[in-house]
Amino acid sequence: MNQKIINIMETLKNEFKIHYQQQGDNKFEVQTAIYEAGHRTFFQFELSSDTIRCETVHIVGYINTEKGISNDDLLNLLRENYFGRFGDQAHILALK
């Protein structure tokens, strides 16, 4: 395991109060406050001599709309990520 990756994960843990669990050589599952609602987030790192690439996958669990998050809020966030900042780097798949 590369120490650079561990340093990144430890910084995330300390700055954002998350927990993580190593899933493979360079793959981690991140546990946040929304983990209890079935949300799951994974980071997969790839290293080269001068670059660190991080692929992030987030699986949405359920959303309690009684706590201030509406369906419209979620759809707007997904649309912003897909058409805005991340362009063709973000993909959305919904299954029921």
C-alpha dihedral over 75, 36, 45, 25, to 10 degrees? -150
The domains of the chain are located at 1-62, 63-96
pTM of the model: 0.65
Q: Which of 90, 26, 32 is nearest to 53 (CA)?
A: 26
Q: Provide the pLDDT for residue 95.
A: 53
Type of residue at 87: G
Q: Provide the pLDDT for residue 88.
A: 59
Q: Which run of H or of E encompasses 13?
A: helix 3-16
Q: What is the pLDDT of residues 19-71, one digit of tens each?
A: 899 998 899 998 876 666 677 888 999 888 888 888 888 887 776 667 776 77
Q: Which of 81, 85, 8 is nearest to 45 (CA)?
A: 8
